[in-house]
Structure 1
Amino acid sequence: MSNQADGPIAELRGASKRYGAVVAARSISLAIRRGEFLSFLGPSGCGKTTALRMLAGFETPTEGDVFLDGQKVTDVPPHRRPVNMVFQHYALFPHLTVAENISFGLRQLRPRLPTAEINAAVTRTLETVRLAGFERRRIWEMSGGQQQRVALARAIVNQPKVLLLDEPMAALDKKLRHDMQIELQTLQRQLGITFILVTHDQEEALSMSDRICIMRDGQIVQTGSPRELYDRPNSRYVADFVGKSNFFEGRVDSLEGTTARLTGPGGITFVGHAGDGLTAGQTAVASLRPEQISLTRDAGGLPVTIVNRIFLGELTEYLVRHPDLGPFLIVCSRQTGAEVTDFEPGDTAFVRWRDGAALILKND
């Protein structure tokens, strides 16, 4: 493979994949930057794993092409591509030691590598994933987190240009998953290679990625940084999938530049950034993130009834109900004042939000 230092490390160009009448991927076009951590995020069946498998070579596009490091590889088999993949269930060999698992790919190379070179590579890689001294350990003697590190070590030992990760943390408990997210980020920065992750876990994608591709029905519906997708989703679907949001349906009264005004239930107005494709008079939704709504005992806002309270340590989640808006969620930080912890289900409170806090989006 030639080095195309200024171009993307990987590309899908109009890549589609059909299985009979089922379309798993629809004309996906995406350029993946060198050294970035990119995630495909979406629900089951949205096409994210199909996109990953086309990059890996396990699936051949029905239409379109795949490029790696500037070279067309659409019909190149997986073992001849400069990529490696970590699977959801790791696919480790239980009858082999940790060192034998990691060195398996290196031992398949032709011409054969010297044994000393293979052993040195395994030792270096074990140090990278913080498993030095585990060479002789059997896989079934390892914890879930340790097994994941072995799978990562096996994938990076031959220094691929792209590492593909297919929901590698799905089987881990919440705390271990969080710890491994940090380790993956650190490892990616240390190695400087491109990581491409497939996940349905929004928190996982938001916490680790440089860019995220939100997928739906086999297509990419929006690509951006975690902050861009959270602050400026282009549709209700994206706003709903990236973080938590409250949605209030209504009609767009006016559009002035990038600002829209929407009248919702009970004549309540919402002013905020206008999403793509809006026109005055159309039905749309106002999206309000829970943390953008203040909750107080002071009159002057909209009166609500506390329906439920969930204490989350630094944060408290309140489900409240308004006669016209219905139920919606508010997140209060302890830093906003101790009085927020005093609300109990059944209490009356008042909510308000600043003009401009809402996003006015197409109701798709």
Structure 2
Amino acid sequence: MNSAGYGSGAAPKNSMIIAELRGVSKRFGEVCAASDLNLSIGEGEFLSFLGPSGCGKTTALRMLAGFETPTEGDVLLDGEVVNNLDAHVRPVNMVFQHYALFPHMTVAQNIGYGLRQIRPRIPKAAIAEKVGKALATVRLVGLEDRRIWELSGGQQQRVALARAIVNEPKLLLLDEPMAALDRKLRKEMQIELQNLQRQLGITFVLVTHDQEEALSMSDRICIMRDGKIIQIGSPQELYDRPRNRYVAGFVGTSNFFDGKVTGASQDLTSVLLQNGAEVTGRAMAEVSVGQEICISVRPEQIRLCRDGEGESVVVLNRIFLGEHTEYLVMHETLGEFLVLSPRQSELNDGPFNTGDALSAAWDVSAALVLDRN
């Protein structure tokens, strides 16, 4: 298995490749921060690197930006190797987690800073025109003369975005740009970023550890761990067909049950769980009899009812989440697992309460047989 993992690292079909990582590794002394990364990024694509702290996603982004040089392999932009090309001459801009705005400058001065560094110099009138267009794009017209400390967090982020897009880069890199925002503002900015990307047609590459952020915004997601790309795919592909337990646990919420394969056919796999229960599911990769695997079942794919077919469970806890209600239930053999019940279901049948004895069931197609790693 190469570093592209489960799913190809190729850019989407009919998309012109704008950036590539070819066998790229980066070491800091004895520490390998990125290992054999292979990835093609298409023009106009919104791609995210997703993973926990220290997984290598920011290192990958910094190599695309030119702030780090690969120890091995090549970084390409528009088909040209740019390993030794300085960051400031690449057709790339970056929005940092803490924005890196100049507090002594006005909003307009911050946005136009990069334009003023270009040689030969751009006429002041042309800079003012470009800054004005960028202000309009991020909806900051009228705030051009304010200082940075006079702006809200969301406004500061828009300034950072305007400064990044004013040079019309081919590639815009975003290093956890919404980490400092509260939940409501973060949701608003996610929508604005998507709209901005569609409006400009610029290729966006986002680094985040927030799965909801990546799922809601991206065309494709690279799941990373220990400096490697584990799986690449669309949000739906990663959610519905995770390669292993790590991906299934990082993209969404899932219940996991460990066991061994007892039988496998083209469509269905029989599993004997550690607790003695027998379960049938769909294998996400080739498996063999005796192989240790885990079964993954998403909470929203489990049905609860008072009277019906299924396994007998008891409700241990209930959390109302608005659109859904989350139940923690106990099964005599399977143990504890989560169930997510839609609001409409509760409106029809009434809510379940702690201590209720219920039946739980899921379709065979909902049980995914995954590699444990």
TM-score (norm 2): 0.94
Question: Which amino acid is 2:273 matched to?
Answer: G
Does 2:78 align with 1:54? no
Paired position in structure 2 for 1:199: 208
Q: Is the 8 A contact 1:148 1:168 kept in 2?
A: yes
Q: Aligned match of 1:152 in 143, 146, 161?
A: 161
RMSD over equivalenced CA pairs, Å: 1.3
Q: For 1:335 and 1:148, how far apart are their aligned partners in 2?
A: 38
Structure 1 residues 340, 280: CA separation in 2 closer, same or farther (over 3 Å shift)? farther
**Alignment pair present for 1:83 and 2:92:** yes
Between the aligned partners of 2:183 and 2:287, the Cα distance in structure 1 is 39
CA contact (8 A) 2:42 2:203 kept: yes
Deviation, structure 1 residue 229:
0.2
1:203-218 to structure 2, matched below 5 A, reads 203-218=212-227
Cα distance change, pair 6–195 in 1 and its aligned pair in 2 (3 A): closer
The answer as to whether partners of 2:107 and 2:159 remain within 8 angstroms in 1 is yes
- Asked if 1:233 is matched to 2:259, the reply is no
Q: Is 1:303–2:280 an aligned residue pair?
A: no
Contact 1:316 1:341 in 2 (8 A): no
The Cα offsets for residues 119-177 of structure 1, whole Å up to 9 and x where unpaired, read as 00000011001111111011101000000000000000010000000000000000100
- Whether the 8 Å contact between 1:271 and 1:357 is mirrored in structure 2 is no
- Secondary structure in 2 matching 1:9: strand
Question: Contact 2:254–2:298 at 8 Å: present in 1 too?
Answer: yes
Aligned to 1:104: 113
Structure 1 residue runs of 5 or longer lacking an equivalent are none
Partner of 1:219: 228
Per the alignment, in what secondary structure is the counterpart of residue 263 of structure 2? strand
AA partner of residue 174 (structure 1): R
Aligned to 2:363: 354
Identity of aligned residues (%): 64
Among candidates 92, 102, 116, match of residue 93 of structure 1 = 102
User: Any conservation in 1 of the 2:282–2:364 contact (CA below 8 Å)?
Assistant: no
Once the two structures are TM-superposed, the CA of residue 327 in structure 1 deviates from its matched residue by: 1.1
Q: Distance in 2 between matches of 1:36 and 1:100?
A: 30
TM-score normalised according to structure 1 size: 0.96
Structure-2 residue corresponding to 1:169: 178
Q: Tell me the amino acid that sits aligned with residue 371 of structure 2.
A: K
Q: Is the 2:319–2:327 contact (alpha carbons within 8 Å) kept by the matching residues of 1?
A: yes
Q: Check conservation: 1:295, 1:340, Cα contact below 8 A.
A: no
Q: Work out whether residues 15 and 42 of structure 2, in 8 Å CA contact, stay in contact via their aligned partners in 1.
A: no
Cα shift at 1:62: 0.5
Q: Are 2:25 and 1:30 aligned?
A: no
> Does structure 2 conserve the Cα–Cα contact (< 8 Å) formed by 1:202 and 1:241?
yes
Equivalent positions of 1:132-151 (< 5 A) are: 132-151=141-160
**Residues 107 and 70 of structure 1: CA distance in aligned 2, closer, same or farther (over 3 Å):** same
Letter in 2 for 1:148: Q
Q: Which runs of 5+ in 2 are unaligned?
A: 1-13
Note closer, same or farther for the CA distance 1:6–1:346 as it changes in structure 2 (3 Å cut). Answer: closer
SS of corresponding position for 1:350: strand
Letter in 1 for 2:200: L
Q: Distance in 2 between matches of 1:277 and 1:23?
A: 30
Q: Which runs of 4+ in 1 moved over 6 A?
A: none
Task: Show the counterpart of 2:269.
Answer: 260
What is the rounded CA distance, in whole Å, between the counterparts of 2:321 and 2:367 in structure 1? 25
Instruction: State the one-letter code of the partner of 2:121.
Output: R
Quick one: distance in 2 between partners of 1:336 and 1:106? 56
Match of 2:341 among 321, 327, 332: 332
Q: 1:66 to 1:235 in 2, by over 3 A?
A: same
**Cα distance in 1 for residues equivalent to 2:223 and 2:336:** 27
Equivalent residues, number: 360
Q: CA separation in 2, counterparts of 1:106 and 1:303?
A: 67
Residue identity matched to 2:336: P
Letter in 2 for 1:25: A
Could you say which residue in structure 2 is the equivalent of 1:14?
23
Residues 171-226 of structure 1: CA distance to partner in whole angstroms, max 9, x if unpaired?
00001000000000000000001000000000000000000000010000000000
Deviation at 1:244, TM superposition (A): 0.3
- Asked if 1 retains the 8 angstrom alpha-carbon contact of 2:304 and 2:360, the reply is yes
For the residue of structure 1 that corresponds to 2:336, the secondary structure is strand
For residue 356 of structure 1, give the secondary structure of its aligned residue in structure 2.
helix
Whichever residue aligns with residue 50 of structure 1, its letter is T
Residue identity matched to 2:61: L
